[in-house]
Structure 1
Amino acid sequence: MFWFKPQLRSLSAFVFHHAVFLLLIRSCAGLSQVIVPMQPIVVTIGDDIILPCHLEPATDAVAMTCEWSRSDLNPRFVHVWHEREELVINQHPSYKGRTSLSTNKLKLGDISLKLSGVKLSDNGTYKCFIPELRTESTIKLVVGLASSPVINLAGNDRDTGAVVLECESKGWYPEPEVLWLDGEGNLLSAGPTETVRGPDDLYTVSSRVTVEKRHSNSFTCRVQQNNINQTREAHTC
């Protein structure tokens, strides 16, 4: 019977360690994770925006520390929630008075950041971090601006009847592209687009095209920026 005791002890130890292992798995599986959208958030300068971030499964985050930050800034903190209140000591100066979290939403595990009066300098990658849970995710904010183009007559050739049309659009971000189309929507061959970036980092673009001007002809200048889903057009009469 003496040979049975060591085997029993080994079995008991195995059962104990197996139970601890399962407990650890269940504990880790129960921890909430920070979830953000995979797609960038696109916003126009001057608008208010919500940077979505939530805990899954939903957990009351009011008593937790919530950090929003950008690694390219110094100090890096955009917004910090600590000990049930906003902590503004180390907040980057450019965000003062423009960020907030909702206490009611924090109770539901929603730690989305509201950013008011978006500036061009807000463009970047943001990290949503919960230190207690050691979980974080990043989300990209793309800030843009668009403006309507203007078409002017830049020159003409009386012998051939051709005219040179110039299209200009000021105040874009990021840099857009310029396209010319005829009355049927076909792309026209135009000269290279001239681009100027101003001291405010906004772009002015201009383009010229030579066309035969007839009474029934109409032309369109289209300025577009696909990253911010913005398109502006001007038409000739």
Structure 2
Amino acid sequence: MELLPLVCLCLLSCSGDGVRVVVEEDSDAVLPCSPSTKEDITAKLFDWKKDGQEVFMYDSGIHYNNGHGSQDLQFKGRVSHFQDQLMNGNASIKIQNVKMADSGNYICIFPRLQPRQTFNIELVVGVKVVVEEDSDAVLPCLINTKEDITLKLFDWKKDGQKEVFMYDAGNHYNNGHGSPDLQFKGRVSHFQDQLMNGNASIKIQNTKMADSGNYICIFPRLQPRQTFNIELVVGASPEPYITTLNETKDWSLLQCKVRGASQEPKVEWQDSSGNILPAEEPQVSERGGRYYVTINTTVTKTGRYRCVVTQKEINHQSRAETFVFISGASPEPYITTPDATKDWSLLQCEVKGASPEPKVEWQDSSGNILPAEEPQVSERGGRYYVTIKTNVTKTGRYRCVVTQEGISHQTSAETFVFINVNSSSVSEKVCEDCSSAVAFVLGAAVLAVVVAAVPFGLRATNCITVSFNQGAAPDPTTTSNDPTKDIPLLQVRVTGDHQDQNGSSNAP
């Protein structure tokens, strides 16, 4: 559903002292009010009401927005006056974010002026519904009280005269109650299950261009009488269709097609920022009152592109979007470890052949940017080659991130670094009566050694001494992304007197 363009249309009513303001839903509405004398009303009282509801009151500087109470909840926090215009006799108000329920008759009263002055303003909050031909259209109508209208009367008309749909306490055009205009016979229905919520909306099936026009939804027996205005526009362009006709590593040829628009559209290509792209001359044809448009453009950067279709006559716009990857975008960076010790590793990241020029940085596993040397950047044939180094002193995962903001592209590579904080050996003596602790500390490695001694007829009578080396520093000439190179070294020595199967004792 689309809304009416903002209109502040002031028309004199038949009585000569009324004003009609027509605005779109969700916009702001200014309701004018000014006494004939144009005198300063800063120290005066004026009061705005709608169908008996309190909208806004001003009394010598005190008003609903600074402590004066009694404002109706429907308008609370949405209505303001023009303080700087009071000296000119301007008591106009602005209602923000208007809804259809705000439609109605407003009065602006100066009760203390002599003679008393009253101004009448009708606010019409209109809705514009735009649909494609042969689709269904829902025309909204919801009374502001949201009361149950199951036993009420509401009537829909088109262009002020054609009968579209009438509902009267359960009787309607689809169950034998009267007959609509032939144009709408058998095509209009209401929402029975929504009547209890005050919803008198209707659906027109299989719309045609002839259905376009101004519709009104009337509650003639309500006090005050309520009328809602809806404009229906049939003939919106369907969503465009995008294809890629041709591409190389440097560019892509995109095509956009619009098929069967019943109002001639304007079609153009845009980038992700909304900038209009150069394109070939559109190819336009017309068959049976419907328009077919084709337009091509060539893009040379990775990014999102959209084809936008605009029909100004009906204030309608539709679009389709596609993503294009140009091989000039940076490939995945390449990480090496030029040097390393037991305390640190020097990491190097290389980016080759990127276009446009990328931003390259090192990050830790949490995404924090790491201090690094100044990047070395070179350019050959419009392609950029970047090298950047960083020194790390902690075990963990590190990544090189390449960002090309101009084409909304980002890529990265990751490596694992093991830093040997303490390379000293740790000796631990495990006694025969501490077998459970041995199993916990040494695990499967120690158990395998003990079990291996059994076939040789040995029985440990004393202790087992184990040396555990935390692991040497990785080879500085290789990358440090393979933690399996730093396998703990277990040394097992069995000491004490042993007896073979014949009972003789042997020194180990």
Q: What CA RMSD, in Å, does the superposition of the two structures yield over aligned residues?
A: 4.3
Task: Map Cα deviations across residues 117-139 of structure 1 (whole Å, 9 max, x no partner).
Answer: 33333333211111223321201
C-alpha distance in structure 1 between counterparts of 2:199 and 2:256, whole Å: 46
1:139 corresponds to 2:230: yes
Query: Which stretch of structure 1 is more off in the superposition, 187-196 or 75-84?
Result: 187-196
Q: Is the 8 A contact 2:179 2:185 kept in 1?
A: no
Q: Is the 8 A contact 1:195 1:203 kept in 2?
A: yes
Alignment of 1:170-209 (within 5 A): 170-180=259-269, 187-190=276-279, 193=282, 195-199=284-288, 201-207=289-295
**Change beyond 3 A, Cα 1:109–1:217:** closer
**Change beyond 3 A, Cα 1:233–1:120:** farther
Q: Is the 8 A contact 2:306 2:319 kept in 1?
A: no
Amino acid in the other structure paired with 2:220: P
Unpaired runs of 5+ residues, structure 1, are 1-25, 154-163
Task: Give the number of aligned pairs.
Answer: 194
For 2:95, the equivalent position in structure 1 comes to: none
C-alpha distance in structure 1 between counterparts of 2:302 and 2:146, whole Å: 60
Task: Map Cα deviations across residues 14-51 of structure 1 (whole Å, 9 max, x no partner).
Answer: xxxxxxxxxxxx9x538xxx738644233334443432
C-alpha distance in structure 2 between counterparts of 1:104 and 1:151, whole Å: 44
1:44 corresponds to 2:132: yes
SS of structure 2 residue aligned to 1:107: helix
**Change beyond 3 A, Cα 1:189–1:180:** same
Alignment match of 2:196 (pick from 101, 107, 110): 107
1:224 corresponds to 2:224: no
For 1:29, the equivalent position in structure 2 comes to: 52
SS of structure 2 residue aligned to 1:139: strand
For 1:119, the equivalent position in structure 2 comes to: 208
**Change beyond 3 A, Cα 1:225–1:56:** same
1:84 corresponds to 2:170: yes
| Higher helix content, 1 or 2 | 1
For 2:187, the equivalent position in structure 1 comes to: 98
C-alpha distance in structure 2 between counterparts of 1:64 and 1:187, whole Å: 52
Give the drift of 1:62: 2.8
Q: Is the 8 A contact 1:147 1:171 kept in 2?
A: no
C-alpha distance in structure 1 between counterparts of 2:322 and 2:140, whole Å: 36
C-alpha distance in structure 2 between counterparts of 1:208 and 1:112, whole Å: 42
| Higher strand content, 1 or 2 | 2
C-alpha distance in structure 1 between counterparts of 2:153 and 2:178, whole Å: 15
TM-score, structure 1 normalization: 0.59
Name the larger-Rg structure.
2
For 2:30, the equivalent position in structure 1 comes to: none
For 2:145, the equivalent position in structure 1 comes to: 57
C-alpha distance in structure 1 between counterparts of 2:197 and 2:141, whole Å: 12
Q: Is the 8 A contact 1:193 1:205 kept in 2?
A: yes
Give the drift of 1:76: 0.8
Amino acid in the other structure paired with 1:179: E
Give the drift of 1:54: 1.4
The sequence identity of aligned pairs, in percent, is 25
SS of structure 1 residue aligned to 2:215: strand
Unpaired runs of 5+ residues, structure 2, are 1-48, 54-99, 104-124, 246-252, 326-508
For 2:3, the equivalent position in structure 1 comes to: none
C-alpha distance in structure 1 between counterparts of 2:290 and 2:322, whole Å: 20
Amino acid in the other structure paired with 1:114: K
